[in-house]
Every structure is written in structure tokens, then in C-alpha cells.
Amino acid sequence: MIYLIRHGQTEFNRERRIQGHVDSALTELGVRQAKAMGRLLRDLIRDSAGWRIVSSPLGRARSTAEIIADALKGPQVEFDDRLKEMSWGSHDGRLRAELETEHPETFGRTGWAFDAPTDGESYEDVQTRVGAWLAELPPEPERRIVAVSHGIAGRVLRGLYANLPRDEAGQQDVPQDAVFALLHGGVGRIDCEPMEQENPSLGQRR
């Protein structure tokens, strides 16, 4: 079993700013989301013995993973670069609205294309690294992993696990208040308890 989550809302998410490999802190809502995911995982796992928490080392994922580790009261957080978000290169840190105006081709017809500039990563780059991470895990049912990652990297990971076409993988939801269960080639979504959000649409950004 892999329980895959995305970090809680960040200041950049709230501003609709592309994060990539740059970082921003969790908002108050993001902290509450991380705590809610921690409580949900605690109820799902119950006994954390034998479980690992593996996180992207980027600060927003690290903070979320540490909150979850506190809720599970057992596993220490491990970090793996392969779970990092996709880098948009020179577009990292830019406002999405600016890029939509200056480089409308970046997001393609769906709004979630993987067309980073040449100094960033491609879909295939991200697929290769998350695929290598998946390949090193123990076989099912022995694997007991909580993975903390990001919007695009999580989409790619779920798509690779479930053998989805690229376009379908790129259209998956990226909630910040839910847990995805990856087991036997399938992906299931488990939502946290409802919580008030400043603006629900902001939870769908990277």
C-alpha cells in the first residue's frame, strides 16, 4: 500500500504562483489541511509499526510530512529527491497569470500541459524519476509507504502506477485535503473531513 498525498496549501498556491523547485511556506489553511490528512492517515493505518513516511525534500512537502509524522507517532520522515515537484526552470516562482499572457502555449489547451521551458523538466523527466522511486519499493502487499509529494509529480506518479495515458494522467485532481490509496494497480481517493477554505479553487494549483 502507498498512501500518496500532496502538501497543504502554500502562500504561492494562494497567489496562483508556479512553485516548481522554489518554495513558499504553508498557509494557515495549509497547516490545517496537513493536520487533517495526518488524522485521516492515523485512522486508516491505526498501527504505524513497519510504515515509512517518504517525502519530497522541498519545504512545503517537508512541513506537511512532519505534521503527518507527529500524528502517526512512529515513523521518522525520510526524504527522496525523486518525489520533488516538476521544475519549470526559469518559470519557477512566476505568477500563472503572467505566464498565461506572455507564454500561452505553456499550459496547452487543457491548462495543465507539461510544456516547461527548455531549462525545466519534461513530463518524461518526471516520469523517469518517480518511476525509479516506485521500482525500488518492496512488492505488494509488503510495502507500507506514506508518500508526500506535489501536484504534478503526484499526477505523474499516480498515472504511472495505474498505467494511464499521459493526457488522462495530467487531468487528475490534485487536492490538498485528500489521501490517494495506491494498491493492486488501482488508485482510490479518500477525502478528509470538510473544512472551510479561503477560496476552494486555490486548492487546485501547484
Q: Which residues are catalytic?
A: 7, 85
State the cell numbers at 113.
500541459
**Dihedral angle over CA of 84, 85, 91, 92, nearest 10:** -60
The residue type found at 130 is V
- What is the rounded CA–CA span in Å between residue 42 and residue 45? 5
- What is the rounded CA–CA span in Å between residue 89 and residue 119? 5
Q: 150: burial class by Cβ within 10 Å (0-12, 13-18, 19+)?
A: buried
Distance of CA 188 to the CA centre of its chain: 15
For residues 115-144, one letter each, b for 16 or more C-beta atoms within 10 angstroms of the residue's C-beta and e for the rest, the string is: ebeeebbebeebbebbbebbeeeeeeeebb
Residue 8: CB partners within 8 Å, gap ≥ 6? 26, 27, 29, 30, 31, 32, 33, 34, 37, 60, 63, 64, 67, 176
**Residues 3, 71 contacting (CB under 8 angstroms):** no
